[in-house]
A and B are shown apart, each in its own frame.
Chain A
Amino acid sequence: MSHDHDHDHESLDEQTLAPTLVPAARPSVWRSLAEFEGDAAVAAYARREFPTDDFDQLEADPTLAPDRRRFMQLLGASAALAGASSCRWEREEIMPHAVRPEDAPPGLRVTYSTVMDLAGAARPVRVECVDGRPIKIEPNEATGGGTDLFSQAAILGFYDPDRSRNVMQGAKSAAWSAALDGLRVAFAAGRGAVLASTSSSPTLHRLAAAARDAGIRWTWYSPLDRENAIEGARLAFGRPARVHHDLTKADVVLSLDSDFQREHPDANALADALASRRRPTVGSETGTAMSRIYAVEARFTSSGLSSDHRLPLRASDVGAFLELVEAKVAGATPSGAAAALAAHGKVGLFAEALADDLKAAGARSAIVVGDGQPAAVHARANGLLARLGAVGTTIFHTDEPLAGAGTKALKELVDALNGGAVDSLVILDGNPVYDAPAALGFRSALAKAKTVAHLSLYVDETSSEVLAQGGWHLPATHWLEAWGDARSFNGVAHIAQPLIAPLYGGKSALEVVAALLGPEATAEALVRTTFDALGGEGLDVRWRRSLHDGFVAGSAYERQALVAGAGAASALPAATAGIELNLFPCPKVLDGRFANNGWLQELPDSVTKLTWDNALYLGVQTAKRLAVTSGDMVRITAQGANLEAAAYVMPGHAEESASLALGYGRTTAGVIAGFKAAEVKSVGYDGYVLSGTSGRGIVGGVEVTKIAGHTRLALTQEHHLIDDIGMSGRAERLPQLAREGTLEEFQKDPSFAQHRVHLPPNMRSLFDLREYQGDHQWGMTIDLAACNGCNACVIACQSENNIPIVGKEQVKRGREMHWIRVDFYFQGDANDAETIDAVSQPVNCLQCENAPCEQVCPVAATVHSHEGLNDMVYNRCIGTRYCGNNCPAKVRRFNYFHYTKFMDKPGNKVLQLAQNPNVTVRSRGVMEKCTYCVQRISSARIKARNAQRMIADGEVVTACQSACPPNAITFGNILDETSAIAKQRKDPRAYAMLEELNIRPRTLYMAKVTNLNPKLADAMKQGAFQAGTIPVAHHSIVHNGGHNGGHAGEQHGAAPDHSNGGGH
């Protein structure tokens, strides 16, 4: 063989080295004039077999040509390696099936456990994949029910066409290898630093430690960092600690300026625990297990919504209020600021009643302090809880793994940059140019570093700044496409496994850091290394088990027994004069990281129902004083900076206080949130401008002035177009729609809610009523006592049912498409914040048995199924919209335009991958609405039929139900007497909204019960419990006792006989 090659070589040489042909004779056949003339060069060229081959180049320059020995070496090596091509080693491959395996029919749903890390707290989830693409986020029941809306919305974020796709250096795209080599060289020269977005990933923490060992400065920062809470714990206990709450054991809960059911890293678990004590049951001790919730807060939050008593208070007065409560609990006389505050309005009264309750509850009381409150307030709350004996019952402590992360650390980095101590900086995720406290000057400090790289999902404000400096932009992987790990608030570790190959060839923070520190490693190997450090038996099995279950068993933090010291009585910062400004992370887009997610932008805010915007929330009297109404533009001056923003007048907001959500006003985000370069207007107003050097929290001495201009806010509930007649109409009907009662009322008559409306006798229908036939009749209940308006159901439904977003202008036109919405009503006297309460009520299609929509559709596009669903047949619908008019719950949505058409654009086609293949993507001109997730019912039915059995209770879980953290939604077969839904329907709190229309809704509501403190019940009436707002039923109408399809009648035995209806 080698001989042959040798020979070939020689012959080649022979040819090329041969003297030029002598034109012996003119050829009679020729290709070109030059050949005819016998040009030597042409002749040589013509003789070459591979005239342009590199080999020939070598020949042209003999110095480059290999000698015979070298040639033989190469040849031998080639032959040897040719034989090695059949050898393989295990490689990580994630790819869609080119050839489908036999056991994977198309459309088969496979669910994997994984985890989302959100600013230092894990959100363990399961992800449903269809044909190798993630479609839907579901909660991981093994780690607790429900999901938040951020994880639900991650599907859209993952397929966002605006994600960055290339490594860039300056204005040019580059290769990963070049970038990593460049960074390695730069870091090798020393004075390297890493700025990482705060993460709970054990592997990233391990790598961070290694980096620090290697002399790299490592900084954790995210605007969501809980510095104050950590510092508060340090003050109280002498060392950083994490405070955990067990609200299932709390009889009295005090929320101090905290929206903990949304913003807390453990929000889902807290919401669930809180709700578990809000559903009074009937029995020997009817309703006694109910907790009582107090909320003291500036803006109206989910805590205010869930609370029994709410005190509107400026956030900067919360410390003094806590002092006041401390004094009352201790039986001491308050002094200073606390005493002054006590004289203000009903604060003293409220504190007195609260203190008595806390004292009585003792160990069974809990206090949750908002992360925006100063450290001293946290410290004092820790001290008070210790004194009440709550530690060990409702409160426990662990080490704080994220101590040191936050603004202070960022400030040190900025100083180091300015001091020339950092030459190379790698920014891992995060967007500090946008979200660092404005007065820190991060942007200008950044220019001091010689080499800068930003790893990010988007070319955002930070990336574009870095690129402008000639630095690197590195595309990051989304958590759905990367290996990783994260720890829950309680420490339980979870492993993130990729569901799909990286869409755009990104790398995760783990991989980038590993590449900086040494040899590149895959994220999987890095995570596995961390896992292996656990040691012990059967690592492989435990690894697979952990991957499958979605958590690492036995990894929770150990509880620490901490004793509160003198620091628990740290001096509070003085209350600020003038208007205070609360900068808080938006409950929808957080610190702005989700700003380019259309689902979240179009999601109506829980309280204000504001979409596609943030606004400066003002108290009613303050707004009146400033002559501002909702939508008016105001100038906010704080800490030497100005911001012009729209105002929103929020009932129940503390006076002389203003609140502004962070995360808006992005200039380099994408086509959703704003992109200056492409002339896409920013959504909302950038609150970071006002954040000084401290980031989120309270800013004192703010000036708010009205300026010219008015903007029409895109609200899905038009609170502000309501005239007096609208107001009175709403007040009149609300008690019948979202029914509420006091615990006292419930104890007297558990079925009180069913008597809020009395039905005319003998309600008959023109048409035959359907009978409950067959095996399954589906029904739903929604518990108003548990709902905190968190909106997770809305996003879950949007993701499951391919619901399009329509944009700000369409929302202003009232054309939002959500199939489930969370109605929110303020109650009380808007002019007096202390009387304000609210109720939220999720409304989806009620699936009326006697559906008004079905009767009026001329083409029979909406019809009843034999299982009791009100089906919508898109193919049949011609869009007369008559059904929408006739729907009393107004849950039908119409495709006024082809809202899904933009997905056909080549650049947006990736969004088609996010669509659920089991649900039709609707075209223009058809009606749509909630179907009780009929596709899930069908999947369960197929499984059950194949197994020749009934669908089991709990087998069909609707998207809204599964996402709901406090389990407010129950769904199932009402014919199955043992099912959860059948039991719920028999609960005396169950009532049918609008049943007087004889629509016979399948969705029932469970009335909200409020556990009033007798000391405040009359002295500080709020919301629905103000005099005269609970209606007295008409005496002339006879009560027919036939509520809720006849089920509720069984409960009436426990209650007085209402057949004369006169008592209500």
Chain B
Amino acid sequence: MVATDPIHGLPAGQDPRVRPTLVEGQNNFTTVTQMVAGIPEQPVAKTDKLWIALFALSVSVLGMLGICLAYLIHTGVGVWGNNNPVFWGWPIVNFVFWVGIGHAGTLISAVLYLTRQNWRTAVNRSAEAMTIFAVICAGMFPGVHVGRIWVAYWLAPLPNQMSMWPNFRSPLLWDVFAVSTYFSVSLIFWYMGMVPDLATLRDRSTNKWRRAIYGAFSLGWTGSSRHWHVYERAYLILASLATPLVLSVHSVVSFDFAVSQVPGWHTTVFPPYFVAGAIFSGFAMVLTLMIPARKYFNLGHIITLTHIDVMCRILMATGMLVGYAYMVEFFMAWYGGVMYEQFAFVNRAFGNYWWAYWIMVSCNVIFPQLFWSRKLRRNLVVVMLVSITTNIGMWFERFVIVVTSLSRDFLPSSWAYFSPTWVDMCTFIGSFGLFLTLFLLFIRFLPFVAMSEVKIVMPAAHAGHGDHGHSAAQSGAHNGETRHSTETGHHG
């Protein structure tokens, strides 16, 4: 199963000379297409019961979100637990949480693409989708958390009767730009990458409506060399555009905190620390979603244990980065000699919210250490548990940053304890409803795995070239050949 280095006997992926097997089993282009395209092609009437059950659940939870938001908008922000020192509570925690999750998609799609990590092809599509949906969830929170939702558009630099620009000094405004840019680039990237696959679905569809809809969205793709050429160029450009965004979005999100002067927020380590945390949480969420989906859709040959292994390693690495950041914060607070900063960190670990801090440390720093063991990296139950605790831990990280810092800042007279309301909780749970609804629709009606890209990394795409590491992107001619095969695949 695992390609082994003939000389050293190292596992695949650790010897750069060896191209690892990325698609396992007796698969060829045809079987890949059938495996992936078969899911959306299933007639609606024959939709799987489990999917329907999950979808019904998600939509119900989404409905709960709708009720919470309607109640919120009708009544006021006071339905949440926010109070006077803790002006930002769960909504901003959730915002940062979801934005963080939205990081893996672009990272896998763009950064791994540029660094020629071919293993990404199995997971990039769903990771990108996850990004889009996570950013939708994220964007919702700052949108509804403002006091006067009906004028939230004043955040945008639109010409208005007040002849006023927004305040360009405010990190919140930077946030608006950062998140909206990230969302639009991610959306285009995701959609563009899907065009060849949509064309495949169009070509395979036997139903008039499917043909029309997939046809409209596949933008007249024919798979010609010229199309492939333009497509690859555009993909490269978008990947290059998206890569700095991976760093910028969460850096800018961290500015919301770092630029302020609240003890516990006001630290220069935040941008890299937030980016590491975002990748950490993003990978955890990809794993959390991928493992059941892989099992359910029987995609074990495309999303292999090797993929999961690699992602676990990244998870552990970023987890340690985050852990390092936690330590550095303490060091800086001590070294800075500012009484308020020192207090903020001691209070974080041992004050009223000690439990939140230690949940965070356990989930983010201690549990991922299990992945030093190759055996555990390949134990799906362990991986699933660790990815879930990572998600929990990363939510608590944002909670610790936002709430503990605010609850005790400079003047002790204004200290207060924050406790959430049922609306806080239901809104947060409801955001999962939104996320899962979108995600379930995606896996049901769109190609869950990037068929065309998977085929590129299959040995058949490199027939006659041996395993000497040509990347598909470098070789237009081969690409053409590959795509041609893709196109012919379904005729056979």
A residues within 8 Å of B by Cβ? Answer: 717-718, 721-723, 725-726, 729-730, 732-734, 736-737, 767, 810, 813-816, 821, 823-825, 841, 843, 852, 855-860, 876-882, 884-886, 888-890, 893-898, 924-927, 994, 997, 1034, 1036-1037
Contact = CB atoms under 8 A, between A and B. Distances in A.
A416 B2 CA distance: 107
Contacts of A732: 339, 343
A880 B260 contact: no
B88 interface: yes
Interface string B290-328: 000000000000000000000000000000000000000
B415 A886 contact: no
Given A725-B351, A884-B87, 4 more contacts: A876-B164, A889-B414, A890-B410, A1034-B337
B52 interface: no
A628 B202 CA distance: 75
Interface string B68-97: 000000011110011111111000000000
A898 B76 CA distance: 7
A540 B246 CA distance: 85
Nearest to A717: B413
B88 A885 contact: yes
17 contacts: A718-B417, A722-B415, A737-B411, A767-B169, A841-B413, A855-B259, A858-B172, A859-B155, A860-B165, A878-B146, A878-B148, A878-B152, A878-B154, A880-B146, A881-B82, A890-B409, A896-B78
B260 A886 contact: yes
B429 interface: no
Contacts of A997: 261, 410
Nearest to B175: A858
A236 B254 CA distance: 73
Contacts of A824: 413
Main secondary structure of the interface of B (DSSP, over half): loop
Nearest to B350: A725
B343 to A, nearest CB: 4
Contacts, number: 179
Contacts of A924: 76, 147-148
Contacts of B76: 895-898, 924-925
A856 B146 contact: no
B343 A926 contact: no
Contacts of A729: 343, 346-347, 408, 412
Contacts of A894: 77, 82, 84, 87, 147
A1012 B379 CA distance: 72
Interface-centre pick from A726, A813, A857, A880 (highest chain B CB count, 10 A) = A880
Contacts of B170: 855-858, 882
B351 A858 contact: no
Given A877-B148, A926-B147, A733 B172 contact: no
Interface string B379-415: 0000000000000000000000000001011111111
Contacts of A852: 260-261
Given A725-B351, A1034-B337, A881 B413 contact: no
B163 to A, nearest CB: 12
Contacts of A856: 169-172, 259-260
B151 interface: yes
Contact of A726 (B145, B147, B352): B352
B416 A814 contact: yes
Given A815-B83, A897-B76, A924-B76, A885 B262 contact: yes
A894 B148 CA distance: 12
B401 to A, nearest CB: 12
Interface string B153-174: 0110000001011110111110
The 8 lowest CB-CB distance pairs between A and B, nearest first, are A879-B147, A925-B147, A896-B78, A814-B83, A890-B414, A823-B413, A881-B87, A858-B172
Most chain B Cβ neighbours within 10 Å, of A729, A816, A843: A729
A767 B414 CA distance: 28
Contacts of A885: 87-88, 260, 262, 406
A1020 to B, nearest CB: 26
A857 B166 CA distance: 9
B78 A897 contact: yes
B169 A855 contact: yes
Contacts of A881: 82, 87-88, 147
Interface of B: 75-78, 81-88, 142, 145-149, 151-152, 154-155, 162, 164-167, 169-173, 176, 256, 259-262, 337, 339-340, 343, 346-347, 350-352, 406, 408-417
Q: Which of A810, A816, A841, A997 has the most CB of B within 10 A?
A: A997
A886 B256 CA distance: 10
Given A860-B166, A882-B172, A896-B82, A726 B415 contact: yes
Nearest to A734: B412
A726 B351 contact: yes
B347 A725 contact: yes
B261 A886 contact: yes
Contacts of B77: 879, 894, 896, 925
A736 B166 CA distance: 36
Given A718-B417, A721-B352, A889-B411, A926 B406 contact: no
A860 B142 CA distance: 17
A338 to B, nearest CB: 40
Nearest to B142: A880
A733 B147 contact: no
A859 B176 CA distance: 12
Contacts of A816: 84
Contacts of A843: 411, 413
Nearest to B343: A729
Nearest to A997: B261
Given A881-B82, A882-B172, A894-B84, A858 B155 contact: yes
Given A858-B155, A884-B84, A895 B147 contact: yes
A151 B153 CA distance: 45
A366 to B, nearest CB: 32
B174 to A, nearest CB: 9
A813 B172 CA distance: 26
A926 B82 CA distance: 14
Nearest to B262: A885
A1034 B337 CA distance: 9
B78 A810 contact: yes
B346 A725 contact: yes
A803 to B, nearest CB: 14
A619 B259 CA distance: 45
Given A814-B416, A856-B259, A877 B84 contact: no
Contacts of B154: 859, 876, 878
Nearest to B344: A729
The residue in A852, A876, A884, A994 that gathers the most chain B C-beta atoms within 10 A of its C-beta is A884
A274 B456 CA distance: 89
B351 A723 contact: yes
A816 B164 CA distance: 32
Contacts of A723: 351-352
Given A860-B164, A878-B152, A926-B148, A733 B176 contact: no
A991 to B, nearest CB: 15
Contacts of A925: 76-77, 146-149
A829 B179 CA distance: 51
A721 B417 contact: yes
Contacts of A878: 146-148, 151-152, 154-155
Contacts of B337: 1034, 1036-1037
Given A725-B350, A890-B84, A825 B412 contact: yes
A430 B352 CA distance: 47
Contact of B339 (A733, A823, A858): A733
B264 to A, nearest CB: 11
Contacts of A889: 410-411, 414
A855 B266 CA distance: 14
A1034 B146 CA distance: 42
A813 B146 contact: no
A232 to B, nearest CB: 39
Contact of B148 (A736, A857, A879, A896): A879
